[in-house]
Structure 1
Amino acid sequence: MTDQIVDTLVSEDVLHRFMLEKAGVRGVLVRLGASWKEIASRAEYSTPLRATLGQAVAASALLTGNIKFEGSLSIEFKSQGSLRLLFAECTDKGRLRGLARVDENEPGALADAVNLARAPEALLVITIGQADRGRYQGIVDLAGDGADASTHEGPSSQLAAALEGYFEKSEQLPARILLAANGDHAVGLMLQPVPGEGGHGAAEQDDDAWDRVGHLTATLSAAEMLATRPEELLYRLYHEETVRMYEPRALEFGCTCSQERVEGMLRALGRTEVEAALEDRAGEIEVVCEFCATRYTFDRVDAERLLTQAETPPSPSTLQ
C-alpha cells in the first residue's frame, strides 16, 4: 500500500491512516458499517454488550493501522464474572470477526459489559499472530492498571483507557483512543505523536502540539463520531493542523474457520472423546462456528479417517 493522497474516499467499512503534519501526530480512523452489522447479528446481544463488542471490533482494526504484519491481531477480554468473554479480531487482509459471551442470569451482567474492571480476575489480552514469527501477547490487568474512563474527555470507555495504558507501557509513547458503537456503526480513532529523537513527537519545536490535538479531540462526541463521514470528521477537527490522508484500506466481515482447522481440533481430542461424542449424537458430530455459523459435520467414517491419520506414525522417509 502506497502512502498517497486519494481523491475518492470510502466512508464505510474502511481504515484511514492520516497525518497531522503541523502537529507531528499520526492517526488511524476506522468506520464500520455492514461488517459490524454482520457481526452483531450473530447473537441477541443486549444494548450495552453490543456497544462494548462494537468498540472492541473497531479497536482490533484500529490497532492494525500502524503496524506491518501478516496474520491477525486480536483483543480478548476474559473474566470470572458474568461477562465471560469478549473477543474481536482483524487480519492483515482487513477481515473482521468478533463475539461475546455473557451469563445474563448473574446479577450485574449488563453492568459488567460497561464496567469491565469490576469483573473478577479481569484481563485484557492483545495478541498478534504471525505465520512466520509466532505469537506476541500483551496483557493488561484492568483492575491493577486502573483503566478508568471517568477521567477521559470525549467518547471513551474502559476499553479505550486500557488500550491507552497498554501503549504507554509497551511503547513508552502516549496514545489517545476514542471508541463508539451503536446498532449501525462502530467507529474508532487513535492518535499518537510521531516518535522523534528528543521527545514524544517529531514536532519538537512545537511543545504544545500534542496537548493542542488532545483538546481538539476532546470536543468530539460519540454521536458525532457515529454520524460523520471519516474525511469530514477529520477536517472538522484538525483542518488547522494540515490533515494528510493516505490510501484507505477496506474492511469486511470474514471468518478464519475451515474444514482443516475443525479436523485438527477433532484429532487433538483423541479417539476416546471423539467416539464418546459420536455415541451421544447418534453417530454424527456437528461443529458450528460461533463467529460465522458455518456447520461442519462428521460421521463415523469421517471420524475414523481423522483418528487413523492422527494415530499413524510417520514413515521413516518423512523423517529424513
Structure 2
Amino acid sequence: METTVIKDVLHRFVLERAGVRGVLVRLGPAWREVAGRADYPPALRALLGQSLAASALLTGNIKLDGALSIELKSSGALRMLFTECTDRGRLRGLARWNGPLPEPLVLSELAGAVMAITIGQAERGQRYQGLVDLQQPDLTAALENYFRQSEQLPARILLAVDGEHAVGLMLQQLPGEGGHDAVNDDDAWSRVEHLTATLGATEMLATAPEQLLYRLYHEEQVTLFEPRPLAFGCSCTRERVSAMLRALGRDEVEAALAARNGEIEVICEFCAQRYTFDAIDAEHLLSDSGGTEPPTTAQ
C-alpha cells in the first residue's frame, strides 16, 4: 500500500526529554500558487514566503476558529504584505510595492513600518490583534521577540524559502511540558537551541519533515502528532463582494456601472476569481437590507 505524501503540511511535535513543543510547516504547491500571482522582486518574494510559512506555524499550538493573519504596512516602497492561514489549513497571501525595494529588505529600516498579527474567531465574531516590534532586522527575530513579550516564554523560529518551497520551524519551551525529567533539566532549552542552530536553510528546504526532526532531535525523544494538511485557498465569495459593493453606496456603484457599459467586474487579488454584476444585480444588492459578511477581497 502506497503512502500518500502531503506536499503542504503542518507537523506538531513534542521533544519529550527536553520539555519542548514544536511546529514544522513545509509548503510546496501552496507557496508556488501565492508566489506566482505577481513578479515579486527577490527580497520581497522571500519575505512573502517566510510570512506565509509563519502564518501557518502560528496556528500550530493555538485553538483557532477562524483565521490568523500577518500584515505588514509601511510608508516606503513596500506598501503592504499580507498572509493568512485559516482553521481549515487554507493559505493565501500577497504583497504590494511601489518602486525599487532596498536590498537586502531589512524590517527595522522600513519607513513607517507596522506589523500586526490578527486572530479572528469566526463563530464569536471577535478579533485579537497584537503588534509586532520591528526593531529587529528580519521576520524570525521579530517574531521571537513578539513571543518573549506576549507570552514571556522563549521561542526559536527558523524560516527558509526558495522557488519551490517555504519551510518554517518553531520551538517553544513550556514549564512541565514533555517528559518526566524535563522540569528538572536546566540545560534542556540550551541543548535544543544548540541542536537547532546546526540547521541551515539548505537542509530545511531539501529534507522531508519527519527525516529532518529525527536528524536534529532523535536523542530528545520526538513524539510526532498526526500531520495537518495545508493548501492554497481563498475566502472570497460572491456574497462578500456584494457586501463590499453595498458598503461603497449607491452613487459609487451606479457611477461604476455607467463607466463600464453597465457591468462591474471585481477580481480577487488573492485567487484571481472574477465576479461580475450587471445593473439588475446591482439594484438587487443595493436594495437588500439583509445581513452581510464583511468584505475580504481587498486587504
The answer to whether TM tops 0.5 is yes
Aligned-pair distance for 1:45? Answer: 1.2
Where has structure 1 moved over 3 Å in runs of 4 or more? Answer: 8-11
Aligned-pair distance for 1:9? Answer: 8.0
In 2, are the aligned partners of 1:89 and 1:97 still within 8 Å (CA)? Answer: yes
Query: Is 1:301 matched with 2:293?
Result: no
Equivalent of 2:106 in 93, 97, 115: 115
Residue 168 of structure 1 corresponds to 148
TM-score (norm 1): 0.86
Residue 296 of structure 2 corresponds to none
Residue 152 of structure 1 corresponds to none
The 5 Å alignment of 1:1-320 reads 10=5, 12-103=7-98, 105-106=99-100, 109-111=101-103, 114-133=105-124, 134-142=126-134, 146-148=135-137, 158-196=138-176, 203-310=182-289
Aligned-pair distance for 1:305? Answer: 1.0
Distance in 2 between residues matched to 1:110 and 1:184, nearest whole Å: 24
Deviations 1:35-55 (A, max 9, x none): 111111111112221111011
Question: What is the CA RMSD across the aligned residues, in angstroms?
Answer: 1.9
Distance in 1 between residues matched to 2:251 and 2:114, nearest whole Å: 34
Distance in 2 between residues matched to 1:278 and 1:111, nearest whole Å: 43
Distance in 1 between residues matched to 2:261 and 2:88, nearest whole Å: 40
Change (3 A) 1:12 1:56: same
**Range with greater deviation from structure 2 (19-28 or 37-46):** 37-46
Aligned-pair distance for 1:131? Answer: 1.6
Q: Which amino acid aligns with 2:247?
A: A
Distance in 1 between residues matched to 2:181 and 2:122, nearest whole Å: 33
More helix by share: 1
Distance in 2 between residues matched to 1:90 and 1:269, nearest whole Å: 28
Distance in 2 between residues matched to 1:169 and 1:202, nearest whole Å: 27
Identity among equivalent positions (%) equals 67
Distance in 1 between residues matched to 2:221 and 2:176, nearest whole Å: 19
Pairs aligned (count): 286
Change (3 A) 1:9 1:212: farther
Change (3 A) 1:310 1:267: farther
Aligned-pair distance for 1:79? Answer: 0.7
In 2, are the aligned partners of 1:267 and 1:310 still within 8 Å (CA)? Answer: no
| SS state at 2:127 partner | strand
Runs of 5+ unmatched residues, structure 2: 291-299
Q: Which amino acid aligns with 1:60?
A: S
Aligned-pair distance for 1:12? Answer: 2.2
TM-score (norm 2): 0.91
Distance in 1 between residues matched to 2:4 and 2:255, nearest whole Å: 54
Distance in 2 between residues matched to 1:94 and 1:175, nearest whole Å: 22
Change (3 A) 1:66 1:202: farther
Aligned-pair distance for 1:202? Answer: 8.1
Runs of 5+ unmatched residues, structure 1: 1-7, 149-157, 312-320
